[in-house]
Structure 1
Amino acid sequence: MIKELINSIDKIEIESADKKYEITKILKKYDGKPVYIKDVNGYKVIGNLCNRETIARSLGIDVNDLMNYMLNAMDNEKNGELIVDNSLKEQYISDDLDKINEYPIPIYYEKDAGPYLTSGVVIVKDKDYGVNASIHRILVKDNHLVIRMVEQRHLHYIYNKNIKDGDVDVAVVIGAHPAVLLAAATSGDITFNELKYASALMKKPLKLVKCDTVDLEVPAGEYIIEGKITSEMDDEGPFVDITGTYDTVRKQPVIKITALKRKKDAIFHALLPGGVEHKILMGLPQEPRMYRGIRNTIPSVKNVALTEGGCCWLHAVVSIEKKTEGDGKNAILAALASHPSLKHVVVVDDDINIYDPNDVEYAIATRAQADRDIIIIKDAKGSSLDPSGDHENKLTAKMGIDATISLKKNRDEFIRAKIPDDE
């Protein structure tokens, strides 16, 4: 599925690159634009694949419709259809387990602990809650993998729930369709089926292939790594997180590899840590959740965007149709409550393009007064990804700017000049 998308989009084509640092340099140079590298140690690599435009294209919709489209798909998640098609097995070749050291898995930055899988969709199964799909960074270390599990995530819960009964079956899918990546990055409750949500996003059944060495059915990506998450721990990190700064070294679970498979002429997906693709996949799934939370308070909310400059995590812009004088400030409070990691939020009128930083800054410059329109909240729970926060107490300061036109003002004074269309 990913090959058809790659063939259909505009992309930068590079003849060859080394997997140590050189892939990073290329992806950094063209950050936000898809890059296809024809030869990395004999393998093909795609990077910067998932920006807003390519995700929308992969779903057959306009980019401005993404947020509402995701909301509708979430509402229909339970109706998503999964089909196990074992004829897909014919598309794969099996590799010896030590072949993973030859795969084009990048070493991205100078202090990285080693090669890292960054785009892998991790599939596990729980007898009570069913299948879970999520994205985690995975260190390739000697003859095994080390997976970073965030304590609040469902994978961590399922692992701890099942590891007392023995190793946990796992599969890592690399080179999945953007709908699968978007779904795997979405936070629902423990019963939320990310693969069915991917099907709802695609508006067609999602085809799965049964694994050979573990009891799992997984999306038919370009590469599939089968294995067992063990109770053994190993050092994971340092590695770069979404802010472009290094995360710390921790003891994390070891994955014992049981099978390596890839499609003939497979394309490896390299996701640049701290790049636009990383930010979009992390932030975009939060926008529908924020929209719903804000809509409960401000029914006239129009759109929500987590901005790239704020790492698609710490900063947001909210568009509303202002009905009463307090709507802007209520939208600020609702936005901060609906995404607890949010640090700064700007609320604007619906004539402002929330995807254009210049337009948002224009709204702040011409419609906000600092003594009246800024809300500051001290000592709130914040994101561990913010290097400026109080990590010991998990606290931060938060700020909202109401950059909407005051209803006490004459709106005509704020209308921007337009050039009439040719008659």
Structure 2
Amino acid sequence: MIRDLINSIDNLKVVEKANKKFEITKILAENDGAPTYIKDVNGYEVIGNLCNREIIAKSLGIEVSDLVEYMINALDNEKNGELIVDNELKKEYVSDEVSKISQYPIPTYYEKDAGAYLTSGIVIVKDKDHGINSSIHRILVKDGKLIIRMVEQRHLHYIYNKNIKDGEVDVAIVIGVHPALLLASSTSGDVTFNELKYASALMGAPLKLIKCDTVDLEVPAGEFIIEGKITNKMEEEGPFVDITGTYDTIRQQPVIEITALKRKKEPIFHALLPGGIEHKILMGLPQEPRMYKGIRNTVPSVKQVSLTEGGCCWLHAVVSIEKKTEGDGKNAILAALASHPSLKHVVIVDDDINIHNPSDVEFAIATRVQADKDVVIISDTKGSSLDPSGDHKNKLTAKMGIDATISLRKGNKEEYIRAEIPDIK
């Protein structure tokens, strides 16, 4: 599946060989946002920068401009996604000794990293009450075992705490999957939300699974499959670079004991660059449908929503609306901040502005904003722990909204409209 997608990419960057310590980082950073294929890393093929908006849209057979609406429709049909266990797929795999994980092309990305990290694996667990959960977490590879970063507010942490009283939790980590699975595993729902069914809805086709050998799980047929047990043992995890490109702190996190390794006969390893565009897109893009729906409840004429790359696809957003009344811009600001609590700054623009073009957005701010009337500042509100400028002790930040829509009060909209060159017949 991954190989077919790679073969379909136009202008794929190709590199002959790289070392897994720092050199993969250098190559992916130099080509950030552009899919990059490395033919040989310790004898394995590696793909990086795989998921940008264009590649995700292409993998789903749609246009980039239709992504948010498409995801909303798939979310509405999540329960209708179809999962099929097909153990014939096992014939495509070979088993490795557990110790061989040290030979896999798992990168050490940055100088101060605690070691080699898995960054693109979808982590699958099962709860007897709520079913399957699939999510993405950074995982340190250390001394033949894994140490997984669990964010306290995420469902994996909830399922782990609920089930660890039995001594351990079955887990599988699948590396090298279709972008729909990465997108689905990055999506927040309630604890009953089935990310694998959502991936099926996104793909518009049944999702084929295989049964694991040493744990009670069925998982998508990725390029690499790591089976294991999340234990109640804790070890230091970190430091490691987060989405802002700055280092996160060291914490005590759960240890995963590996019970089995499987891989395709000629696998392609997916290296996801921490702080790169792919990382940002996979964090931010799944939030956009939720924001769109939240804003639409207040401003029905919302057109598009984008969490911007410059804002780490997490802290900054641009929203376009078809303005109907003078208060729509400020209402959209409040709705955007409410629908994505980590959001720090948001700009609301008219629908003639391309929200994916920073120059276009800046033009709207420059020509349609009066700071004393159109800027909203909210002090001491809950913010993102990823913002290094925030008050982390009290978990507070300041937030700002800019209403860069054309004022309806003056009644001279034509003054704001940019000149166009007519078609020449």
**Counterpart residue number, 1:113:** 114
Question: 2:377, 2:251 → 1: CA distance?
Answer: 34
Match of 1:31, SS state, is coil
**Counterpart residue number, 1:300:** 301
Question: 2:85, 2:354 → 1: CA distance?
Answer: 43
User: 1:286-338 CA deviation, whole Å, 9 max, x = no partner?
Assistant: 00000011011001111100000000000000110000001000000000000
**Counterpart residue number, 1:175:** 176
Question: 1:345, 1:393 → 2: CA distance?
Answer: 23
Letter in 1 for 2:424: D
Question: 1:157, 1:236 → 2: CA distance?
Answer: 19
**Counterpart residue number, 2:141:** 140
Question: 1:95, 1:422 → 2: CA distance?
Answer: 65
**Counterpart residue number, 1:246:** 247
Question: 1:305, 1:131 → 2: CA distance?
Answer: 29
Question: 2:2, 2:363 → 1: CA distance?
Answer: 39
Letter in 2 for 1:307: T
Percent identity (aligned): 80
Confirm or deny that 1:411 pairs with 2:420. no
Confirm or deny that 1:6 pairs with 2:2. no
Letter in 2 for 1:414: Y
Q: Report matched runs for 1:207-356 at 5 Å.
A: 207-356=208-357
The alpha-carbon deviation at position 2 of structure 1 amounts to 1.2
Question: 2:357, 2:20 → 1: CA distance?
Answer: 34
Question: 1:421, 1:32 → 2: CA distance?
Answer: 34
**Counterpart residue number, 1:130:** 131
Question: 2:289, 2:2 → 1: CA distance?
Answer: 25
Question: 1:303, 1:209 → 2: CA distance?
Answer: 38
Match of 2:213, SS state, is coil
TM-score normalized by structure 2? 0.99
Question: 2:353, 2:221 → 1: CA distance?
Answer: 41
Question: 1:306, 1:398 → 2: CA distance?
Answer: 15
Question: 1:102, 1:284 → 2: CA distance?
Answer: 33
**Counterpart residue number, 1:80:** 81
User: 1:186-235 CA deviation, whole Å, 9 max, x = no partner?
Assistant: 00000000000000000000000110000000010000000000000000
The alpha-carbon deviation at position 422 of structure 1 amounts to 2.3
The alpha-carbon deviation at position 33 of structure 1 amounts to 0.2
- Structure 2: runs of 5+ lacking an equivalent: none
User: 1:94-126 CA deviation, whole Å, 9 max, x = no partner?
Assistant: 001111000000000000000000000000000
Question: 2:30, 2:203 → 1: CA distance?
Answer: 31
Match of 1:36, SS state, is strand
Question: 1:55, 1:175 → 2: CA distance?
Answer: 14
**Counterpart residue number, 2:164:** 163
Question: 2:90, 2:308 → 1: CA distance?
Answer: 40
The alpha-carbon deviation at position 143 of structure 1 amounts to 1.3
Match of 1:15, SS state, is strand
- Structure 1: runs of 5+ lacking an equivalent: none
Q: Report matched runs for 1:86-105 at 5 Å.
A: 86-105=87-106
**Counterpart residue number, 1:199:** 200
Letter in 1 for 2:120: S
User: 1:34-92 CA deviation, whole Å, 9 max, x = no partner?
Assistant: 00000001000000000000000000000110000000000000000000000000000
The alpha-carbon deviation at position 3 of structure 1 amounts to 1.1
Give the count of matched residue pairs: 423
Match of 2:298, SS state, is coil
Letter in 2 for 1:374: V
Match of 1:254, SS state, is strand
Letter in 2 for 1:323: K
Letter in 2 for 1:418: E
The alpha-carbon deviation at position 166 of structure 1 amounts to 2.1
Question: 1:217, 1:178 → 2: CA distance?
Answer: 19
Question: 2:250, 2:332 → 1: CA distance?
Answer: 38
Structure 1 outlier segments of 4+, above 4 Å: none
Match of 1:273, SS state, is coil
Question: 2:177, 2:254 → 1: CA distance?
Answer: 24
Letter in 1 for 2:63: D
Match of 1:39, SS state, is strand
Match of 1:235, SS state, is strand
TM-score normalized by structure 1? 1.00
